[in-house]
Amino acid sequence: MTPHPLLTPLQSDPTQHGQHGGWTLEAEQAQADTVGIRTDSLHLTRKEPSARDASSLARDLAGRASYLLEPLILVEGSEQKALLRSQITDSPDEEQPYYEMWVTPDELSLRRYEGQRGQSRRPRPVSLTWEQAERLVKDVEATYAAEPPEA
């Protein structure tokens, strides 16, 4: 299987940026091997903003990205910016890792954190297999290419 053109440069050198179809993919402080990528954050930028608002993009992405470690839910959103976060358990005494995905009409960033509810959180690396990374890139492209729903 040929890797997605956004991922190809990162597979050989994770300090590179992938560019394809009006998108740029950057991985911050990344390490890569034959299995996948481990990074502080993934950041996808689109040259042309989507015609859809951030909240609808985020809801669509939450439904598509079922292959991450935890399901994503919309925490807050507006036309310009939306936040998806992992759905976590209600155990207040337990350290819990979770994803945080910020979505705008022209970009998306994915980070991972760990912490207890009500306490300071700490960043954790985002670890994705190349298959998961490819699915994420394709899901982002498809979501942003979709037409806005008619009112």
Q: State pLDDT tens for residues 35-65.
A: 999 999 999 999 999 999 999 999 999 999 9
**pTM to 2 decimals?**
0.91
- Give the pLDDT score at 151: 56
Total domain count, the chain: 1
- Please check whether residue 46 lies inside any domain of the structure: yes
- Please check whether residue 151 lies inside any domain of the structure: no
Residue 90, pLDDT > 70, answer no
* Burial classification of residue 119, based on how many CB atoms lie within 10 Å of its CB (0-12 exposed, 13-18 middle, 19 or more buried): exposed
Residue 91, pLDDT > 70, answer no
Main-chain phi, psi angles of 88, to 5 degrees: -115, 165
- Please check whether residue 77 lies inside any domain of the structure: yes
Instruction: Please give the residue range of the domain that contains residue 46.
Output: 8-89+96-145
Helix (H, G, I), strand (E, B) or coil at 65: coil
- Please check whether residue 42 lies inside any domain of the structure: yes
- Please check whether residue 75 lies inside any domain of the structure: yes
Main-chain phi, psi angles of 144, to 5 degrees: -70, -25
- Please check whether residue 48 lies inside any domain of the structure: yes
- Please check whether residue 22 lies inside any domain of the structure: yes
H or E segment and range at residue 60: helix 54-64
Residue 73, pLDDT > 70, answer yes
- Please check whether residue 3 lies inside any domain of the structure: no
Residue 149, pLDDT > 80, answer no
- Give the pLDDT score at 150: 65
H or E segment and range at residue 109: strand 107-115
- The 10 Å Cβ neighbour count of residue 148 is 11
pLDDT higher at 116 or 6: 6
